[in-house]
A = this chain, B = another copy of it.
């Protein structure tokens, strides 16, 4: 993205950093950062402005945050006190602009389409998910290091599920000298786990692999850790649930059993906002490269 006029709207430190990267002098972009005025370390070269009507009509590219909407239905803008609706923004965005965001609701897609604008969701991109697995794994390690009264070295760690995060996390835990097990369903996943020098646990044998576990990390977004499973764990076992809602752990039961459980969501934005901003930039760049001309 070079020689473009770009608006970066809302979001957290990831968006601020994204704006800063887009505003690096060699890129010769004009970059507006909107509705993130409370960031203390605001990057150089970025123009602060909350004037939708002044900024958006001249933009080539508009980047909304991840997630695009907050729980209140307005744009997700933790770094401002103002509430802005997507409709307010859409009104001023020209049909020539490329418009991107993360976790865009279908209803907004339709609304924009009526105006002839295709909303592009960077959160759906496989490479975005792959790259984000790394900060997620690092954030998980940070939690484990902080919470466990032992070294990770020598601990028995069980990961349930073998998706992107599992793959990265298993490697990291092995580097720490932990004994790593991964529970998965498919024969091919179990083969990969073995090839990665971890111990494969067929999911149907999960219950038999819990007794000596010191750290259990769940990545499966269905309730696979219920009373039957949790009651087999040592009370000193730390459980970290990385699965999105409703999560994979019966938190109530875990609490009653005295098992410490941490439900860690959205780690990249929390533990490594600068890296997370870079990942958004790279993904947005890929999307625009695929679309060809960058609208210009």
Contact = CB atoms under 8 A, between A and B. Distances in A.
Contacts of A150: 272, 274-275
Interface string A106-133: 0000000000000000000111101101
A150 B145 CA distance: 17
Contact of A146 (B146, B168, B197): B146
A152 B138 contact: yes
A262 interface: no
A201 B153 CA distance: 19
Complex copy number for this chain? 4
A134 interface: yes
A103 interface: no
A151 interface: yes
Nearest to A172: B175
Contact of A188 (B130, B149, B151): B130
A195 B172 CA distance: 12
A142 interface: yes
B175 A286 contact: no
A151 B152 CA distance: 19
12 contacts: A125-B187, A134-B151, A134-B177, A135-B153, A138-B145, A138-B153, A138-B176, A141-B145, A142-B142, A149-B272, A149-B275, A151-B272
Given A175-B175, A176-B138, A149 B13 contact: yes
Contacts of A133: 195
Contacts of A171: 175
Contact of A191 (B126, B139, B145, B175): B126
A69 B176 CA distance: 33
Which of A134, A177, A191 has its CB near the most chain B CB atoms (within 10 A)?
A191
Contacts of A192: 130
Contacts of A134: 151, 153, 177, 195
A188 B133 CA distance: 12
A191 B125 CA distance: 11
Contacts of A126: 187-188, 191
Nearest to A272: B151
Contacts of A176: 138, 172, 175
Nearest to A154: B275
A194 interface: yes
A168 B171 CA distance: 13
Contacts of A274: 149-150
A192 B130 CA distance: 6
Contacts of A149: 13, 272-275
B145 A271 contact: yes
Interface string A198-218: 000000000000000000000
A14 B150 CA distance: 11
A181 to B, nearest CB: 15
A33 interface: no
